Structure formats: C-alpha cells, structure tokens
Amino acid sequence: MTSIEDITPENYHIHLDNILEIENRSFPSPWSQRAFIQEIENPISHIWVLLADNQLVGYICFWLFDREIQLINIAVHPDEKGKGLGRHLMTRMIETGLSKGSQYIWLEVRISNLPAKRLYHRLGFEEIGRRRGYYRETNEDAIVMVLPLQQKESVRRISN
C-alpha cells in the first residue's frame, strides 16, 4: 500500500535522512540537506514523499505559483525503480495542478535520462527547447518540457 505525505517544517526531520539517501544514490550532483531545508521553507515549494509499506521509496519537489508548476526534483529509490512509483508521484502533481487551476507544468530533464524522458512523454509532456550545459557537473544539456494542462482538463472532462 502506498501513500503520499506532504513534508513541512514540522515533520521534515522524520524523513530527511531517507530523502538524502535516495538523492545521493540518484544524482551525480545531489542536493545538500540545506537545499532541501530551503525548499521546505519556500512558500511556493511542495515536497511530497511516497511511502510504500511505511518505507520512503521516492519523493517529488515542485513549485506551484502564478497558475504554473515547475518540477524541481523527483527521485525513486534505485531498488524500487520500474514499479510505476515515479509515474504515481507525477500523476498526483498533475492532478494538483488541475485542481489549482494551473495552466502549465514545466520541467528540465537530462538529455541522457531516457527513462525519465519516456515517462514525461507518456504523461503528455512536449519538448520545447534545450538548455546547453545546464547540468554544470557534467556540462550536459537539459531538455525543456511542458505539459499544457488545459488539454489535460478537456481529456479529464471527456473521460468522466
């Protein structure tokens, strides 16, 4: 059984070590503890953790502002990949955007991150540009992607 928990200044200490473990195992230049705490304190930032059988298996961080969402960070524990957990987190973020009246969701993804790019395409994101050398530690380009939520809303109304 899975559940999503919102991370707040009051409860972050419960999950921060597990978030950092996943972060460190997932990225060549992982965020620091301070970076996560800054996001927790940021009023437009939302961090959710995904729990499966009371074990933290993934997290997502996004900004919700001015009728838009910007995906900041998402990771699933390496031992839990391929189970649809990233898709679950992304779907919940999209549903939140729809319920809040957001018009777009934006993200950047490493050009080499094929699994993430496949997931984003399956969710309806479109490639709209590239940021050259965006990832400084590897000088890798980022692909900029957007999901126009008006289209998702019309699909949702038709399917209900």
- Phi-psi label, residue 66: left if phi above 0, alpha if psi -120 to 50, beta otherwise: left
Query: Considering the entire predicted model, what is its pTM?
Result: 0.90
Q: For 55-71, how does the pLDDT look when each residue is reduced to its tens digit (9 = 90+)?
A: 999 999 999 999 999 99
All structural domains of the chain: 2-159 (3.40.630.30)
| Residue 157 pLDDT > 80 | no
Contacts with 3 (C-beta within 8 Å, 6 or more apart), sequence order: 50, 51
pLDDT range class, residue 153, cuts 50, 70, 90: low
